[in-house]
Amino acid sequence: MKKKNKKVNAAILIIGNEILSGRTEDKNIAFIAKWLNSSCGISVYEVRVIPDSEKVIIKNVLELSKKYNYVFTTGGIGPTHDDITAKSISKAFNVKYEFHKDAYKILENYYGKSKFNDGRKKMAMMPGGSRLVLNPSSAAPGFIKKNVISLPGVPSILNSMIENCKKYLVKGSIIYSKTLNLFTVESNISKQLGLIQKKYLKFVDIGSYPFFRLGKIGVSIVTRSTSKEKLKKVNKDLIKLTKNKKIQILKI
């Protein structure tokens, strides 16, 4: 991983008609976001889900790559006719769509020359000058072009590859979080939460999320910060709030 930089952000671009149609449930957004935050200190600021359309892919890749430090794409780098991510990114950055020599060798060795058909060869086609993200599960590499990192859509394969992205990333400050689960309703604490958030606005983000558990309505208060010290101070204020309001804390 490259030299640390305090604030680093990313976007996730999910590509696939099967996601938009509801046929396939996406599992990659949460995994990538958690990994970036916990392992790299990179915050995901935006997620988009788009179809397998060349024009749409080009438009979104260009927009997001200009807006964020990194863009992670998933899907559309397989062997079939509708796998057009690599070709679309080539056009977005105005580079040749061509065989990557090292990717070609990896796939040829994996399948053997007799079984290395045109579909499998297609998985070695990438934007010119791409760097590889190695794949320990099924050999077909992902790739990085400029600040766009393209990974497969199959969650188990993507999960196995994610650590191989790390060497290309500038690390940001790790964001720490703490969750306080309360048996109360949001309206009962909204005013006080607003005051606490205002007090620590520059240092801590506070989110409240309702839940229903053990037959009771509750609220999860999630605090996030790059400073462990500030996080402790905020949570002391939150504990004080629960005591003043006589709110029960649920331990999970």
Q: What is the pLDDT of residues 175-196, one digit of tens each?
A: 889 999 999 999 999 999 999 9
- Statement to judge: residues 46 and 145 lie in one domain: yes
CA distance 103 to 64: 26
Mean pLDDT of the chain: 94
Helix (H, G, I), strand (E, B) or coil at 250: strand
Check residue 4 and give its pLDDT.
59
The rounded percent of the chain whose pLDDT value lies above 90 is: 89
CA distance 67 to 147: 11
Domain assignment present for residue 2? The answer is: no
Domain assignment present for residue 1? The answer is: no
Supply the range of the domain harboring residue 209.
Answer: 176-250
- Statement to judge: residues 134 and 190 lie in one domain: no
- Per the structure, the count of domains in the chain is 2
CA distance 63 to 148: 11
- Asked if the model's pLDDT at residue 41 lies above 70, the reply is yes
CATH assignment at residue 187? 3.30.70.600
Check residue 202 and give its pLDDT.
87
Check residue 251 and give its pLDDT.
79
Neighbouring residues of 115: CB distance < 8 A, sequence distance ≥ 6: none
In the numeric block, the tokens 């504990």 are attached to 239
Domain assignment present for residue 3? The answer is: no
- Statement to judge: residues 163 and 182 lie in one domain: no
- Asked if the model's pLDDT at residue 3 lies above 70, the reply is no
How confident is the model over 197-251, as pLDDT tens digits?
A: 999 998 999 999 999 887 888 999 999 998 999 999 999 999 999 999 999 998 7
- Statement to judge: residues 148 and 245 lie in one domain: no
Neighbouring residues of 207: CB distance < 8 A, sequence distance ≥ 6: 221, 222, 223, 224
